[in-house]
Structure 1
Amino acid sequence: MLGLKARDSASQERIRDILDGRDKSLGYWVALALHGLILLTAIAFAVSTVPELPEHARIILTWFERIAVAIFMFEYFLRIFAAKHPMHYIVSFWGIIDLLAWMPSLFMTAGGTVALRLLRLMQMVRILKVIRYSRALQRLSRAFVSVHAELALFYIIALFLIYISAVGIYFFEHEVQPEIFTSVPASLWWAIVTLTTVGYGDAIPVTLGGKLFTSLILFMGMGVFAVPAGVITSALVGHEIEDIEESLEKIESSAEEKAYRDRLRRSKSND
């Protein structure tokens, strides 16, 4: 029984390594195939929205979607089987993403336009699966996790600035343009596109006070929304340094181990 359990554990670990792309023989090819499948499903979904698409093309896309769903479903249950703690995986972020990669397609026949659109939108969650198989994206994900507190503080400040901007432009422009800046909630749209320096031009200030206020908001927007890029870049560089140090430690330890074995071999030969 103990031998069977050990063999079971080893096979489960091998499956995890293959699915996560760590296995030396099959990991790369499995990750590449899943990458390609995710990309093709995204392209297929975009093509399926073309109104004048021929009927035979829609049938091909439908069958391709069914095959992709079957593969994603098989991968999901295989991960549950191979997980050290299946329930931890099921309720984890990646477990939910893997579930949403195939489950919405099973309910695409649900009635109601809103429900159908929501299910179609949830299908696109499978694109996030790419992060699981990309080391660069994994490093970016680690960077986001390491600076999540700083980013949360930034977004709180950004929301506060958006609200203040909406209130300010409402007071400056409401009397002159009551049909555009009808209320503070309606002014939030102007605040968002102005702070992000997009400026669609559908709502612009005409008063002197409104223009001066807008100039101030634009300068603040350029400064405030550049902060996350710096924070994330710093975190990425920090993780890169950690990875390099870890690699150097491994190289040093392997070199020391090799030197020790050489000394041991020489001492035995001398004896």
Structure 2
Amino acid sequence: MTAPAKTLRAQLFEILRPNAPTPAGRRWRKAHLVILAVGLLAVILLSVDEFSVQNRVFLRAAIWCVTLFFLVEYVARLWVAPELPHMADVPPLAARLRWAGSVPGLIGLLAIMPAIMLAGGYSIAGTDAASIFCILWILKLGLHAPAFGTLARVISNERAPIASVLIVFAILLMSAATGAHIVERDGQPQQFGSLPNAMWWSVVTLTTTGYGDVVPLTPVGRIIGSLLMISGIAVLALMTGVLATGFAQEERRREYLRVWDQVTRVPIFASLGVVTLSEIVGKLRTRYYPARVLVLRRGDPGDSMFFICDGEVEVRLPTGGTVRLGDGAFFGEMSLLNRQPRAASIVTTAPTTLLVLYASDFYEIASHIPALAEAVENEARRRHEENLGRHSGASTPGGTKA
């Protein structure tokens, strides 16, 4: 039974979807970034008064073309909003309203503000207007940074330790500002005569910025400043450690889920239980290759094997023949099992997603999951016999050459 054909809206969503792995999606993101760069460059150059009138007219035309592009994009994204996974059970109108009120929707709306202002009778002229458009458009770069979502999850997951570090920061800030205000206000009433002024010095010192515009002069004030600088290094190092740990944990979780999704597409893993599958997922690594890219070269060390999640590769045999492997197949197991250099070169024929299993991890898994190792060995034996048959057929009268 064939799957139903995708609607035009679903096809357009596959292109506009953030981080879409399809070639069309990647081309769209590249084009979007190029057009955004052109728009930002035109906005920046428009603020230069030395440009001639003709050049400024050209720059304004470029800005309006980019604005029109963003307007078409906004309408298209608004139309495909019901295709979003979390909008599956929401009526189309409600889904579009929810998307319009989301962060991507609001950023898209801000990007078309020049068109809205034009409709309202405003004109694009002057440095101030150009600066506003530049600020609005730069926000769209955030839509190309999936790490922003990761950052939000890290802050949410690590909110307790982050709050503790911020509390320590506030305690040090207020304590140092109060001490400096007490001991320095008589000698420097303009710089330390009030707590807000003293807090400015405290913030600059605690963050180790050190502008040097305000410095304590008394011995006690300098002692407070020295302790504050040392404390600032410790607080910043603590905050860095918290965020780095959170990012590492979030990236491991994302990689685990990404690999799990890919593993379920490989038939050789389909019969394994959840517990066994989770052990394998932790050992695999995902690799993405565009078309016509060399994955393995003949003679390379046989230190890993590959499973094809989606896509296709071509095995270029030493005899000059080729074999194509598609979804669910695997390769590289023969040299891994025999601990010999690669006997063939592997080239992708289409954009391909591979799972990599290194030799050390393979033998560790083989000791716990004999069935998986046996399946890989059987396939390696079958391919070896098949290659022998091809060589025999090539040298025997009436034989066929692969």
Change (3 A) 1:205 1:251: same
Equivalences, count: 253
1:15 to 12, 16, 23: 12
Structure 1 residue matching 2:190: 3-state secondary structure: coil
Query: For residues 115 and 158 of structure 2, what CA distance do their matches in structure 1 show?
Result: 35
Between the aligned residues of both structures, percent identity stands at 25
| Amino acid of the structure 2 residue aligned with 1:42 | L
Query: For residues 118 and 142 of structure 1, what CA distance do their matches in structure 2 show?
Result: 35
Q: How far 1:175 moved relative to its partner? A: 0.5
Query: For residues 121 and 176 of structure 1, what CA distance do their matches in structure 2 show?
Result: 44
Partner of 1:80: 78
Which structure is richer in relative contact order (CA contacts within 8 A, separation 6 or more)? 1
Query: For residues 46 and 151 of structure 1, what CA distance do their matches in structure 2 show?
Result: 37
Would the aligned equivalents of 2:107 and 2:139 in 1 still touch at CA under 8 Å? Answer: yes
Which structure has the greater CA radius of gyration?
2
Change (3 A) 1:122 1:245: same
Match status 1:103 vs 2:113: yes
1:170 to 170, 181, 185: 181
More strand by share: 2
Q: How far 1:184 moved relative to its partner? A: 1.0
The within-5 A match list for 1:148-227 is 148=159, 150-227=161-238
Match status 1:41 vs 2:39: yes
Would the aligned equivalents of 2:44 and 2:130 in 1 still touch at CA under 8 Å? Answer: no
Query: For residues 122 and 147 of structure 1, what CA distance do their matches in structure 2 show?
Result: 35
| Amino acid of the structure 1 residue aligned with 2:34 | G
Greater alpha carbon shift after TM alignment, 60-69 vs 137-146: 137-146
Partner of 2:322: none
Instruction: Please list the CA deviations of residues 91-114 of structure 1 after superposition, one character each: whole Å capped at 9, or x if unmatched.
Output: 112211221222156438869xxx
The within-5 A match list for 1:49-128 is 49-84=47-82, 85-103=95-113, 106-107=116-117, 117=128, 120-121=131-132, 123-128=134-139
| Amino acid of the structure 2 residue aligned with 1:15 | L
Change (3 A) 1:21 1:241: closer
Q: How far 1:141 moved relative to its partner? A: 5.0
| Amino acid of the structure 1 residue aligned with 2:74 | Y
Query: For residues 188 and 53 of structure 1, what CA distance do their matches in structure 2 show?
Result: 44
Would the aligned equivalents of 1:102 and 1:123 in 2 still touch at CA under 8 Å? Answer: no
Greater alpha carbon shift after TM alignment, 202-211 vs 61-70: 61-70
Query: For residues 129 and 74 of structure 1, what CA distance do their matches in structure 2 show?
Result: 15
Match status 1:132 vs 2:143: yes
Structure 1 residue matching 2:264: 3-state secondary structure: helix
Instruction: Please list the CA deviations of residues 44-72 of structure 1 after superposition, one character each: whole Å capped at 9, or x if unmatched.
Output: 33333333233222222211111111111
Q: How far 1:122 moved relative to its partner? A: 6.4
Q: How far 1:207 moved relative to its partner? A: 0.3
Partner of 1:25: 23
Unmatched tracts of structure 1, length 5 or more: 1-5, 264-271
**Cα RMSD between the aligned structures?**
3.3
| Amino acid of the structure 2 residue aligned with 1:120 | S
Q: TM-score w.r.t. structure 2 length?
A: 0.55
Query: For residues 185 and 103 of structure 1, what CA distance do their matches in structure 2 show?
Result: 38
Change (3 A) 1:207 1:158: same
Q: TM-score w.r.t. structure 1 length?
A: 0.78
Query: For residues 105 and 231 of structure 1, what CA distance do their matches in structure 2 show?
Result: 43
More helix by share: 1
Query: For residues 166 and 122 of structure 1, what CA distance do their matches in structure 2 show?
Result: 39
